[in-house]
């Protein structure tokens, strides 16, 4: 976790709460959390908590954390107010909020704001959510997929589970509907409370990313070769699991298969990486169920793999290369890729959904779900036998 407190959120009583029954968190965690600008606008100055801004509308509350299977998870609020101007770029300021105000009686209150960060607005974001908050469908989709997981995993594919969907108070929602540039979101306004192990992403939406492993290893205190090896093994195991999520979630229904499909979400910005190297998919609002004929199953699993595998492999090269630097070994890429096949083999040795084989000098990932046709996908071509 990047421990840089740079924000405050303010707790208020929610309109309604829908729980994920798997989790029994502290009762006072189940609240609405308002960003600073929204709270100040409504004259709320009590029940504040220090937070870390995350992406454009989220906040992490580092003092609220629990342990799951030996791993620390922090409470994250999705939808506590926007930090950036949706159309003109840059930080959201009181003046920019004023430009989006469609009700003159609020203009004086805007001028009294000391910050524009964390303001909930009524503008429709892609028809899915109000700007700075969360929408009905996306919020309850996150909850649905979190409920089918066992805490933080769907058959070995790790996620950041939603623990509750919070309906924002009516007065907050009613005021927010008066702030927009073009058109408004029509449904009720929500937030999602979820658990995340860090705010480190692969390439985007974080000031520290896996694409720069030197800073990440320092942040996670990975200062020995053994720690670096374990980090890489966990990264590979969890990455392959996410690339095979469709198969891991698949359900056979007659002559059809239904599985979880990635819709407009990606590994580079929509995942976070735990201190032990395990990748957790964070923005699970982009999951959908997709049904295909059994004869089409192999094709869709291959397409899901190809859609996301580059982002995984790019990050893996950075991690593997930095591990060699820690070992004070400078080797060529041809030699490195030969050694990498052994690391991949070891990482998947205990995975119950995939296995690794060398066929015709190609390292093959074999996806073998229960009662599913097996799918063979090459990950390293033209390598020596394991």
54-92 per-residue burial string, b: 16 or more CB within 10 A, e: under 16: bbebbbbbbebebeeeebebbbbbbbbbbbbbbeeeeeb
Q: Cα(140)–Cα(146) distance, rounded to whole angstroms?
A: 10
Q: Cα(112)–Cα(80) distance, rounded to whole angstroms?
A: 20
What is the DSSP-derived secondary structure letter of residue 201? B
> Is the pLDDT confidence value at 304 over 90?
yes
pLDDT reported for residue 207: 63
Q: Position of tokens 């205990």?
A: 350
Closest CA to 222 of 320, 323, 314, 313: 323
Estimate to the nearest angstrom the gap between the alpha carbon of 159 and the chain centroid: 7
User: Is the CB of residue 340 less than 8 Å from the CB of residue 229?
Assistant: no
Closest CA to 312 of 284, 275, 273: 273
pLDDT reported for residue 370: 81
User: Is the CB of residue 278 less than 8 Å from the CB of residue 271?
Assistant: no
Quick one: pLDDT band at residue 215, thresholds 50, 70, 90?
confident
Model pLDDT for residues 312-368, shown as the tens digit of each residue: 999 999 999 999 988 888 889 999 999 999 999 999 999 999 999 999 989 999 999
Average pLDDT over residues 169-184: 98
> CA angle at residue 217 from 342 to 8, to 5 degrees?
135
Average pLDDT over residues 199-206: 77
Report the DSSP pairing between strands 190-196 and 279-281: unpaired
User: Is the CB of residue 4 less than 8 Å from the CB of residue 130?
Assistant: no
Q: Provide the 3-class DSSP secondary structure of residue 39.
A: helix
- Containing 341, the helix (H) or strand (E) segment is helix 333-347
Which structure tokens are listed for 129? 């959510």
Q: Cα(228)–Cα(254) distance, rounded to whole angstroms?
A: 45
Q: Cα(316)–Cα(216) distance, rounded to whole angstroms?
A: 13
pLDDT reported for residue 212: 77
Model pLDDT for residues 53-102, shown as the tens digit of each residue: 999 999 999 999 999 999 999 999 999 999 999 999 999 999 999 999 99
> Is the pLDDT confidence value at 280 over 60?
yes
Average pLDDT over residues 195-205: 86
User: Is the CB of residue 159 less than 8 Å from the CB of residue 145?
Assistant: yes
Closest CA to 136 of 16, 47, 237: 16
Average pLDDT value for the chain: 94
Domain boundaries, the chain: 7-196, 213-380
Q: Cα(15)–Cα(308) distance, rounded to whole angstroms?
A: 38
> Is the pLDDT confidence value at 386 over 60?
no
**How many Cβ atoms sit within 10 Å of the Cβ of residue 250?**
23
Q: Cα(44)–Cα(10) distance, rounded to whole angstroms?
A: 7
pTM of the model: 0.95
Q: Position of tokens 């009524």?
A: 122
Q: What is the CA radius of gyration of the chain?
A: 22
**Mind giving me the DSSP string for 121-165?**
--BEETTTEETTSB-HHHHHHHHHHHHHSBTTEETTEEB--EEEE
Coarse DSSP helix, strand, coil percentages of the chain, rounded to the nearest 5 percent: 35, 30, 35
Quick one: pLDDT band at residue 5, thresholds 50, 70, 90?
confident
Model pLDDT for residues 141-150, shown as the tens digit of each residue: 999 999 999 9
Average pLDDT over residues 293-305: 97
Of 57-66, 166-175, 212-221, 317-326, which gets the smallest average pLDDT? 212-221
């Amino acid at each position: 976790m990047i421990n840089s407190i740079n924000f405050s959120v303010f707790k208020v009583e929610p309109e309604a709460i829908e729980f994920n029954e798997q989790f029994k968190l502290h009762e006072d965690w189940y609240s609405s959390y308002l960003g600073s600008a929204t709270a100040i606008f409504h004259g709320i100055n009590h029940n504040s908590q220090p937070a870390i801004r995350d992406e454009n509308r989220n906040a992490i509350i580092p003092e609220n954390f629990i342990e799951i299977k030996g791993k620390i998870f922090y409470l994250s609020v999705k939808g506590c107010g926007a930090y950036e101007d949706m159309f003109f770029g840059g930080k959201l300021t009181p003046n920019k909020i004023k430009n989006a105000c469609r009700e003159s009686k609020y203009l004086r209150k805007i001028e009294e704001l000391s910050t524009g960060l964390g303001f909930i607005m009524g503008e429709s974001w892609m028809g899915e959510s109000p700007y700075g908050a969360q929408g009905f469908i996306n919020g309850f989709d996150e909850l649905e997929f979190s409920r089918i997981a066992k805490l933080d995993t769907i058959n070995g594919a790790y996620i950041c589970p939603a623990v509750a969907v919070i309906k924002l108070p009516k007065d907050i929602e009613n005021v927010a509907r008066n702030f927009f540039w073009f058109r408004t979101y029509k449904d009720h306004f929500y937030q999602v409370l979820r658990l995340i192990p860090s705010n480190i992403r692969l390439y985007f939406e974080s000031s520290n990313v896996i694409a720069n492993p030197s800073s990440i290893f320092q942040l996670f205190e990975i200062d020995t070769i053994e720690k670096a090896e374990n980090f890489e093994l966990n990264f590979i195991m969890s990455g392959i699991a996410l690339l095979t999520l469709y198969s891991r979630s698949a359900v056979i229904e007659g002559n059809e298969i239904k599985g979880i499909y990635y819709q407009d979400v990606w590994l580079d910005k929509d995942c976070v990486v735990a201190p032990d190297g395990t990748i957790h998919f964070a923005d699970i609002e982009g999951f959908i169920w997709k049904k295909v004929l059994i004869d089409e199953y192999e094709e869709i699993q291959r397409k899901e793999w190809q859609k996301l595998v580059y982002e995984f492999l790019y990050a893996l090269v950075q991690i593997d290369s930095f591990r060699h630097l820690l070992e004070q070994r400078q080797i060529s890429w041809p030699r490195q890729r030969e050694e990498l096949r052994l690391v991949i083999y070891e990482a998947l040795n205990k995975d119950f959904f995939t296995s690794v084989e060398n066929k015709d000098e190609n390292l093959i990932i074999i996806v073998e779900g229960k009662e599913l046709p097996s799918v063979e996908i090459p990950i390293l071509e033209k390598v020596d036998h394991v």
